[in-house]
Structure 1
Amino acid sequence: MTTITTLLVRQDDLAQTRLRQSPAAPVGAGDIRVRVDAFALTANNITYAAMGGMLQYWQFFPSGEDGWGIVPVWGFGTVVESAHEGLPVGERLYGYWPMATEVVLTPARVSAAGFADGAAHRAGLHPVYNQYLRAASDPFYQPDTEDLQALLRPLYITSWLIDDFLDDNQHFGATRMLLSSASSKTAWGTALELSRRTGLEVVGLTSASNQAFCERLGCYHRVVAYDALESLTPDTPSVYIDFAGSVALRQRVHAHVSGLRYSCAVGASHVHDLGGAGQLPGPRPVMFFAPAQVKKRNADWGAAGLNARLVASWQQLLGAVQAPPTPWVQVQHHRGPAATQALFDALRQGGGDPALGHMATLQG
């Protein structure tokens, strides 16, 4: 019997990780076994882990061990064993995977576009994360941009939905958008969309070491180092879009920006400084949950209408991030269990070159 290698993360202490070898799960009637070929590891996955209990991320791929979880990742897999007549061996799939060498899925509602995982433990989880797309019919898919799709597609869709949500709410009457962790991919994706809106100033907040990188992107009207936050005009009507999750930074923003109209909590890239809202001046931070905006727009436009808008914007993004002479993203590959474990730990600690995008595989 073959074995599966899985990266486990301690749910209450993300610094604790270990590699587990376990027997491969059997493929039952209607199931498929998928080899997890490659996946992106970004600050977004650290957010999944940091908020795994609150937002049910630990439940997608239960570890079977108390206190230990499997962090979900976005990427590509290949069907290597099939007991489902509609999904042949060799089929290339894009979707939500465990950090493991393989996984057994139970396809439901199979179509030319893809399917949902019908496993019982995923029935109550948000359907956006349960969808698997067939690369051959995916309008986003291009074989030569698989890495960028794994790295940027889920982040950019979140970025696009944040921009859409804010526009849908007339930006809460604000004219200035403040984005923390401005060097993160979800933040600059959001900034790119916001910068196309008229009447808005898009301000990136970042560490001094990442300020030059953020300015080079060209999607921020202004970039301000965290240390210079208090140089911002306080009474300008503003929205704070918090990708950092830092308690200290949130307190400073709320205390200084008297014109704050809305505080949108998105990510947790600063995992060492997470916490609740506490007693803050101004509006109470509201967690942004991308699937809720997807549900709204599916109702407004239909799934096809939403997808057409996303594909068009995705093509624009690819043009921006790959433009010479300096692409926004340079891909690094990390192969094998030890390399993937080390990468997760490095991302958890923060820092690193914001221009790098990391693709990993647990395959040896």
Structure 2
Amino acid sequence: MATTELLIARDALLRTRVRTRADTPLDPGQVRVRIDLLALTSNNVTYAGFGDAMHYWDFYPSGEPGWGIVPAWGFGDVVQSLHPGVAVGERLYGFWPVATHAVLAPDRLSPARICDATPHRATLAAAYNQYFRVTADPLYRDDDEAVQALLRPLFITSWLIDDHLAGNQFFGARDAQGKALVILSSASSKAAYGTAWALSQRPDVQVIGLTSAANEAFCRSLGCYHRVLRYDALDQLAPETPCVFVDFAGSGDLRRAIHTRLTALAHSLAIGSTHLDEVAPSGNGKTLPGPRMVFFFAPDHIRIRTREWGAETFGQRMARAWRDFSARATDAHAPWLRIERTQGIAAASMVWEALAAGRADPRAGHLIALR
């Protein structure tokens, strides 16, 4: 058996190559998973962009200096098992390499999930080491795996951002009528519009989306932004308006422009980096005027809420929000998502290059089929 995988140059994310290597025999307690379906979105570009700082390259080491394997969300089936608690044929949802196969060391098994205890992952974020057994996963439906692969991990982050802001009373960023104002960059990205949708369910919140001219019409069509502005129209934002900035773009120049213009900015939250070519020292949180930029790491917030609410309540609340959001995003009359499937690792490299270069259609959801 052999594994084919996509390698990405860690210092030049548009440079890729496909590698095929022979599989090594399993050790006792390990399982081999054949990866079936993966989603590639701008979220994966963020994983690569922060691969060193946030250790995303460490989940599936390539073994080659200078090259990395970006992780992606999706589904796979156990094809070999040397673990008595995991059966061949089990289907799992989780965090996989962009590859045809992966090896896990299952631990802390429950009816709903397993945890990967591969030694090199012990110090990495626990939320990414969990694999959901679809037969007991409350968010799983066998007729919409594509939507789950594409939107589920992004929406969980979106939902957590909404909870973070609401839990902190929007850091006091309310106008005279008591309305909170939240400004989102990269408004066409799936994580941003998921956040806008969650925030828009709150009657006391207004959401402004910042986007490029090319994506302005798409963002307006979503209906979850109260206002959409192009990046070159920041002068339309009243400087004295209390607000919160949630940055999905990662553009250093944009961050500085926002922090400089908005003198009543109450909180600045960095999520990812969809504009990798624009990330610059000018966007460093330590040098910006106004509030210090805070990086939001979803697994940390999951850990906090799970401890406060309990795992069962956390799961129930998330499941309700996910069902409502996914129903809206896939509404047959006005869908936000157009699913596009490609086959194989070589095709994945072309999708990756389009995403990393910022050329992808925001309405498209890219799925890589590997079987």
Q: Do Structure 1 and Structure 2 share a fold, with TM-score over 0.5?
A: yes
Tell me which amino acid in the other structure corresponds to 1:299: R
Q: Quick check: 1:243 aligned with 2:248?
A: yes
So what's the TM-score if we normalise by structure 1? 0.97
Distance between the aligned counterparts of 1:74 and 1:25, measured in 2?
A: 24
2:250–2:279 Cα contact (<8 Å) kept: yes
**In the TM superposition, what whole-angstrom CA distance separates every residue of 1:28-62 from its partner, at most 9, and x where no partner exists?**
11111100111100000000000000001011011
2:98–2:345 Cα contact (<8 Å) kept: no
The residue that corresponds to 2:340 in the other structure is: 332
> How many residue pairs are counted as aligned between the two chains?
362
Distance between the aligned counterparts of 1:322 and 1:200, measured in 2?
A: 24
Q: Quick check: 1:350 aligned with 2:354?
A: no
**In the TM superposition, what whole-angstrom CA distance separates every residue of 1:65-90 from its partner, at most 9, and x where no partner exists?**
11111100000000011111221111
1:340–1:361 Cα contact (<8 Å) kept: no
The residue that corresponds to 1:270 in the other structure is: 275
1:71–1:98 Cα contact (<8 Å) kept: yes
Tell me which amino acid in the other structure corresponds to 1:270: H
Question: For structure 1, which segment, 322-331 or 92-101, has the greater mean C-alpha deviation from structure 2 after superposition?
Answer: 322-331
SS at match of 2:331: coil
Distance between the aligned counterparts of 1:26 and 1:132, measured in 2?
A: 22
Structure 2: gaps (5+ residues):
174-179
CA deviation after TM superposition for structure 1 residue 361, in Å: 3.4
**Aligned 1:68-217 pairs, distance under 5 A:** 68-174=67-173, 175-217=180-222
Q: Quick check: 1:220 aligned with 2:194?
A: no
Q: Quick check: 1:257 aligned with 2:256?
A: no
Structure 1: gaps (5+ residues):
none
SS at match of 2:334: coil
Tell me which amino acid in the other structure corresponds to 1:193: A
**In the TM superposition, what whole-angstrom CA distance separates every residue of 1:138-171 from its partner, at most 9, and x where no partner exists?**
0100011100000001000000000001111111
Distance between the aligned counterparts of 2:24 and 2:295, measured in 1?
A: 36
So what's the TM-score if we normalise by structure 2? 0.96
**Candidates 329, 344, 357, aligned match of 1:321:** 329
Query: Following TM superposition, where does structure 1 have runs of at least 4 consecutive aligned residues deviating by more than 3 angstroms?
Result: none
The residue that corresponds to 1:229 in the other structure is: 234
Distance between the aligned counterparts of 2:218 and 2:345, measured in 1?
A: 31
CA deviation after TM superposition for structure 1 residue 337, in Å: 2.1
SS at match of 1:241: strand
1:297–1:306 Cα contact (<8 Å) kept: yes
Distance between the aligned counterparts of 2:6 and 2:332, measured in 1?
A: 36
Q: Please provide the CA RMSD for this pair.
A: 1.0
